[in-house]
């Protein structure tokens, strides 16, 4: 069995750590930033994009489609199993992606056996595609992943890695957007996303409306245990981590138009993350290094499928 160093402590690095530990490897994870601890618990402070994810299982802003469909299907099966096992923050939740005009069946539907076409899902919308999808509440799930790594004997350290050449043995590069500098990957593109947290007022379905994506606008409503995440934006090339108040107002207005139950829900907070986008996800082995980054808007959705493949490539 190998000694494996994973660079990156987001959902990708930590899911890979779990799979490699389960396969019997000795694993250490280095993260320049670590996810915040569970609410009310002490621990290292920091942010990773994964902590901002909404996060509903949905293949979005990630290519290539054939591999993404396979990774998504594997992760859907694993999240379904975790939800059944009662893992913190993983809840199977019904919802609908809605379209103003009739569309062909979305390309990813072979990953979701339960998907169904719905006519006129909302006033003004021609059709929708409904299915039960895992909603993954990252402030609860990332600490669960960290605890699982520790339980299996892995370690997680706050450390900035300047070069992969610093590291001995097998290495997994799960640095997300950090791969731009770490391995000089100029094809990485930051895609900024802003969200608002609204009071949970009894919303129990997720909704996605990407009709205005060409304007950099995506509308989604994702219910969690203590709040409802509403979004969002898709700003290509933008990395500003401060929330814009006018954008937040527009996000809330669109969410309330889509889900009128949110009309009286108080604003609880704001957040911004930068999606690590790439023309295609990079998942390949080069010498002793397995690269696994560039998951765009679907890192959570792809996590377990990619982690399985990384574990197979480490061998
Ligand atoms: C607003 C928003 C909503 C989203 N919603 C969803 C959703 O609903 N569903 C979904 O599937 N996805 C969603 N995403 C996308 C998802 O968040 C990302 O795809 C995912 O977090 C990428 O995970 P990662 O582990 O690759 O990167 P990150 O979470 O960014 O982690 C990268 C890690 O690498 C570390 N690192 C980088 N460089 C170095 C270095 N040189 N040395 C050491 N460590 C380093 C970082 O510190 C960090 O620990 C959303 C994203 C945003 C912004």
As given in the structure block, the two tokens for residue 146 are: 């960290």
Whole-number Å distance between alpha carbons of 67 and 64: 6
Measured in angstroms, how far is the CA atom of residue 126 from the centroid of ligand 1?
34
User: What does the pLDDT look like over 268-305, one tens digit per residue?
Assistant: 999 999 999 999 999 999 999 999 999 999 999 999 99
CA terminus-to-terminus distance, the chain? 9
Measured in angstroms, how far is the CA atom of residue 190 from the centroid of ligand 1?
11
User: What does the pLDDT look like over 197-219, one tens digit per residue?
Assistant: 999 999 999 999 988 888 888 99
Measured in angstroms, how far is the CA atom of residue 47 from the centroid of ligand 1?
9
As given in the structure block, the two tokens for residue 165 are: 């050449």
Model's pTM, two decimal places?
0.96
| Residue of minimum CA distance from atom 2 in ligand 1 | 53
Q: Backbone phi, then psi, for 49, in 5-degree steps?
A: -55, -40
Pocket of ligand 1 (CB under 6 A): 7-13, 30-33, 48-50, 52-56, 58, 160-161, 174-176, 178, 182, 193, 195, 231-232, 273, 275-276, 293, 295-301
Cross-strand partners of 221: 207, 230
Query: H or E element: which one contains 94?
Result: strand 90-99
Q: Please state at what angle helix 299-314 crosses helix 65-84, rounded to 10 degrees.
A: 100
């Amino acid at each position: 069995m190998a000694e494996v160093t994973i660079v990156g402590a987001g959902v990708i690095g930590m899911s890979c750590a779990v799979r490699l530990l389960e396969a019997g490897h000795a694993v250490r994870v280095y993260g320049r930033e670590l996810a915040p601890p569970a609410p009310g618990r002490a621990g290292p402070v920091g942010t990773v994009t994964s902590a901002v994810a909404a996060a509903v299982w949905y293949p979005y802003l990630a290519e290539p489609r054939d591999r993404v469909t396979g990774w998504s299907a594997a992760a859907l099966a694993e999240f379904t199993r975790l939800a059944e096992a009662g893992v913190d923050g993983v809840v199977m939740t019904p919802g609908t992606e809605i379209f103003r005009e009739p569309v062909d069946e979305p390309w990813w539907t072979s990953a979701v056996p339960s998907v169904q076409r719905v006519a006129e899902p909302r006033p003004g919308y021609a059709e929708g595609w409904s299915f039960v999808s895992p909603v993954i509440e990252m402030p609860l799930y990332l600490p669960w992943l960290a605890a699982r790594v520790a339980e299996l004997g892995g370690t997680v350290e706050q450390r900035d890695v300047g070069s992969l050449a610093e590291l001995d043995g097998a290495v997994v590069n799960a640095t997300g957007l950090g791969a731009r500098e770490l391995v000089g990957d100029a094809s990485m593109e930051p895609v900024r996303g802003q969200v608002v947290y609204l009071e949970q007022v009894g919303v129990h379905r997720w909704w996605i409306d990407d009709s205005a994506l060409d304007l950099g606008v995506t509308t989604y409503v994702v219910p969690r245990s203590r709040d409802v995440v509403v979004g969002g934006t898709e700003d290509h090339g933008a990395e500003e981590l401060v929330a814009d108040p006018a954008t937040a107002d527009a996000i809330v207005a669109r969410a309330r138009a889509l889900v009128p139950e949110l009309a009286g829900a108080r604003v609880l907070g704001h957040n911004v993350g930068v999606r690590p986008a790439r023309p295609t996800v990079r998942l390949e082995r080069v010498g002793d290094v397995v690269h696994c980054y560039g998951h765009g808007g679907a890192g959570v959705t792809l996590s377990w499928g990619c982690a399985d493949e990384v574990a197979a490539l480490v061998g």
